[in-house]
Amino acid sequence: MHWVFEPGFFSSQPVHVAVVVGGVVAVVSGVVGVFTVVRGQSFAGHTLTDVSTAGGSGAFLLGLNPLLGFVGIGVVGAGTMDLIGVQRVRGRDLATGIVLGAATGLAALFLYLDTTERATTGATQQILFGDIFIVDPSTIPVVVIFSVIALGAVAAIYRPLLLSSMSSDIAAAQGVPVRLVGLLFMLALAVSVGLSSLAIGSILSTALLIGPAATALRLTRRVGSAMVVASVIGVGATWLGVLLAYDSFYWGSSQQSLPVSFFIVMVTFALYLASGLPVVQTVTGRRASDRPTEEEPRSPHS
Amino acid sequence: MTDAPRPPNDGGEILAVDGVSVSLAGRQILDDVTFRVGTGEFTGLIGSNGAGKTTLLRVILGLQRPAAGEVRMLDQPRGRRNRSIGYVPQKVLLDPDMPMRARDLVALGIDGHRFGFPMPSKARRAAVDEMLRAVAADGFADARVGNLSGGEQQRVLIAHALISRPRLLLLDEPLANLDPGNREEIIGLLRRIATEQHIAIVLSAHEINPLLPVMDRIVYIAAGRAASGTTDEVVRTEVLSALYGHHVDVIHVHGRVLVVGGPGESGEADIPADPACRVG
């Protein structure tokens, strides 16, 4: 087995922290990611990663836990996007773009100050691309609390959110407060992006949010099962990435580990590509059972 | 239940629209619209595109506040959330990538507005199955809604609207984009629902002819104003000319009706450019 798990993998404390934090974060990203993809809010999700960059680099400057910066400013950014944006899709994209620009500008300033004033050249690398091996163990309870909040919010608004993702007209007619439900989801999305920024870096957090969810949506026919599959894929990719990064220290002769975020993102990407293979689609029954019957021979699509 | 082909219009009124006027962005959309709908009646809301049909339906639903007038359900003032109205909106775009089966969408009609995670139950599933059968959608209950044909999607959306047992069902242009065969089937289905379940149906359409055999009542909208009554009372040269504000001819050809507009001196948008096409 030692050629799979290199020496010290199971006794290493950074590995323990990475497995716990990565696992929890991947579950949140999977659940929130499915709704993000289904609602067509990937752009908003990506913008929140840039907002997170500003928050993380700002927290670094102030000597705070970066997670607080990631999540805190993400929630503010999500609220701002919702305030500016109207319910129309174009208004929403516009608001998202405006917030994106402002956040990236702030991030540029904070990262500049981080590297000049505090002379920590590692800050940029750590905030943008993350390093789950250096997450402080004391952060774990905070990660769990934020995760429970995000998952709890999605569970609470599950049905109205599903209905308004389907059609806001139908939802409104049925009495769903469409605007409020949309705002609550944006806040859950901000928390989720903040968590994955901690795990794999703010720039890469989109990959953990969208990748497993998009893969799961190819393989399932229900939102609920897509969430389960996305979580499993996310956790699997994260843990495999942690293992590969740990092992990479022993590859070659350079005695240096490669970035863990790189491995997580690449495993996620490979799984997405694999899910598109015809053989996978057939095995999961997605193709075969999509149209169980050929009703209505007169319909133009049949 | 009754053997009569038409519902026994027991005189019970379910919906009263009184003097409703709506202005949006400074433009008058509806001007003093008044009509009644009785229990189990099939009402056609007829008008060209942009005549104000969707706005009127939104006022009835309580999603749009009228500048004047009121809408009353069963002699109660309308609240914003009224579960005794079912609604099938216009042009619902169901995304083929949305992982939702027909039965999931119908189930959301029961409790989609409630907070919390859905708990599967036998009763819930049985109610969904029964409703899918009632609209002849049981054959594709487990298919993704986004992959269904237009006619199939309409059936699922009707099931979604009906499963909460409303007294009134509003449908906004449900026949648009359907081929004639599917159109007939949906109309037949709705007529049966109105008769058997005593649900009043208000259906908007820009074509009058497919609905002629089934309408108990017509509400004809033009230039924001409405005329209502039976088809024979409303679809007449004098009535529609008064409504349009200029002369139009109502012509009966082989059981079909054509409304032909003269050269519109007022230049209004609803003068049918191609009248034969507009009224079917």
pLDDT digits (tens, 9 = 90+) for A250-294: 887 777 778 888 899 899 999 999 988 877 766 665 544 444 443
**Do the bridges between strand B225-229 and strand B76-77 make them parallel or antiparallel, or are there none, so unpaired?**
unpaired
Residue A302 has pLDDT above 50, yes or no: no
Most distant CA atoms of chain B, gap in Å: 63
Among partner residues B87, B101, B152, which is closest to A222 by beta-carbon distance?
A: B101
**In chain B, what residues touch A225 (CB-CB under 8 Å)?**
99
Supply the DSSP symbol for B118. P
Q: Is the CB of residue A300 less than 8 Å away from at least one CB of chain B? A: yes
Cβ–Cβ gap B149/A301 under 8 Å: yes
Task: List the single residue in B89, B114, B144 with the smallest CB-CB distance to A167.
Answer: B89
Nearest CB to A163 within list B87, B108, B116: B108
Q: Is the Cβ–Cβ distance between A239 and A56 less than 8 Å?
A: no
- Rounded distance between C-alpha atoms, residue B181 and residue A297, angstroms: 10
Q: How far apart are CA B168 and CA B143, in angstroms?
A: 28
Please tell me the distance in Å from B101's CA to the nearest CA on chain A. Answer: 7
**Domain B1-84+166-245 - what CATH class?**
alpha beta
Q: Which residue has the tokens 């099962």?
A: A225
pTM equals 0.82
Nearest CB to A166 within list B105, B117, B149? B105
Pairing of strands B42-46, B200-205: parallel
Crossing angle, helix A260-275 and helix A223-247, to 10 degrees?
A: 140
Residue tagged 């519902």 (tokens)? B7
pLDDT tens column, A185-213: 999 999 999 998 888 888 888 889 999 99
CA distance A37 to A185: 12
Per-residue pLDDT of chain B (280 residues; tens, 9 = 90+): 444 444 444 558 888 898 899 988 888 888 899 999 988 899 999 988 888 889 999 899 888 889 998 888 865 655 545 567 889 988 777 777 788 889 999 999 888 888 887 777 888 889 899 889 888 888 998 988 888 888 888 889 999 998 988 889 999 998 888 888 888 888 998 998 888 888 999 999 988 888 888 899 999 998 888 888 888 888 888 888 888 888 888 888 888 888 887 654 443 444 444 444 444 3
Query: Which residue of chain B has the CA closest to A158?
Result: B117
> What DSSP string describes A104-166?
HHHHHHHHHHHHHHS--THHHHHHHH--GGG--GGGHHHHHHHHHHHHHHHHHTHHHHHHHHH
Q: Name the band, by pLDDT with cuts 50, 70 and 90, for residue A121.
A: low
Task: Considering only CA atoms, give the Rg of chain A.
Answer: 20
Q: Cβ of A169 under 8 Å from any chain B Cβ?
A: yes
CB pairs under 8 A between A and B: 123
- For chain A, where are the alpha helices, taking DSSP H only? 13-38, 42-62, 66-84, 89-117, 122-129, 140-156, 158-166, 168-173, 178-200, 205-219, 223-247, 260-275, 278-283
Question: Where does the pLDDT of residue A85 fall: very low under 50, low under 70, confident under 90, or very high at 90 and above?
Answer: low
Smallest CA-to-CA distance from B234 within B253, B212, B214 is with B212
pLDDT at A33: 95
Sketch the domain layout of chain B as residue ranges: 1-84+166-245, 92-165
Task: Say whether A197 sits in a helix, a strand or coil.
Answer: helix
Question: Which one-letter amino acid corresponds to residue B33?
Answer: V
Q: How many CA atoms, within 13 angstroms, populate the side-chain half-sphere of residue B75? A: 2
β-strands B200-205, B168-172: how paired? parallel
* Beta strands at B85-88 and B168-172: parallel, antiparallel or unpaired: parallel
Gap between the Cα atoms of B32 and A252, Å rounded: 83
Domains of chain A: 13-283 (1.10.3470.10)
Dist CA A288 CA A276 (whole Å)? 15
CB < 8 Å to B150, chain A: 299-301
Which of the four pLDDT bands, split at 50, 70 and 90, describes residue A169?
confident
Question: Which two structure tokens, joined as six digits, stand for A14?
Answer: 């950074």
A246-262 pLDDT tens trace:
888 888 777 777 888 88
> How large is the average pLDDT for residues A5-22?
84
| Interface subset of B 44-63, CB within 8 angstroms of A | 61, 63
B270 φ, ψ to 5°? -85, 5
* Contact flag A172-B63 (C-beta cutoff 8 Å): yes
**Phi, psi for A290 (deg, rounded to 5):** -65, -35
Give B-chain residues touching A167 at CB under 8 angstroms.
89, 92-94
> Cα–Cα distance between A34 and A189 in angstroms, integer?
11
User: Does residue A166 belong to the interface with chain B, where contact is any CB pair within 8 Å?
Assistant: yes
Give pLDDT, residue B80: 46
Contact between B117 and A155 using a beta-carbon 8 Å cutoff = yes
Mean pLDDT over each residue of chain A, to the nearest integer: 83
Cα(B167)–Cα(B179) distance, integer angstroms? 29
Residue B183 CA to residue B176 CA, distance in Å, equals: 9
Q: Which residues contact A205 (CB under 8 A, 6 or more apart)?
A: A29, A49, A52, A130, A193, A196, A197, A199
Q: According to the model, what pLDDT value does residue A20 have? A: 92
DSSP A290: S
Residues in chain B: 280
Percentage with pLDDT > 90 across chain A: 30
pLDDT value for B249:
86
Q: How many residues comprise chain A? A: 302
| ipTM summary value | 0.77
Measured from the Cβ of residue B222, the count of other Cβ atoms closer than 10 Å reads 24
Mean pLDDT for A18-42 is 92
| Nearest Cα to Cα of residue B111 among B97, B101, B121 | B121
Instruction: Name the DSSP letter for residue A259.
Output: P
Virtual CA dihedral for B78, B74, B87, A186, nearest 10 degrees? 30
Of A5 and B217, more confident: B217
Which DSSP symbol is given to B146? G
Distance in angstroms (rounded) separating the CA atoms of residues B151 and B192: 17
C-beta atoms of B179 and A298 within 8 A: yes
- pLDDT tens figures, A212-228: 999 999 888 889 899 99
Among A167, A185, A301, the residue to mutate for chain B (most B Cβ within 10 A): A167
**Cβ neighbours of residue B248 closer than 8 Å, sequence gap 6 or more:** B237, B240, B241, B259, B260, B261, B262
Q: In the block, which residue shows the tokens 């957090």? A: A205
Query: Positive or negative, the Cα torsion across B62, B65, B66, B72?
Result: positive
B contact residues 84-123, partner A, Cβ 8 Å cutoff = 85, 87, 89-90, 92-95, 97-101, 104-105, 108-109, 111-118
**In the numeric block, which tokens belong to residue A41?**
């809010």
B87·A296 Cβ contact <8 A: no
CB contact under 8 A, B98 and A38: yes
CA distance B29 to B52: 6
Q: Mapping DSSP to helix (H, G, I), strand (E, B) and coil, where does residue A249 land?
A: helix
Put simply, the answer to whether A295 touches B140 (Cβ < 8 Å) is yes
Query: So what's the pLDDT on residue A299?
Result: 39
Q: Smallest CA–CA separation between A210 and chain B, in Å?
A: 14
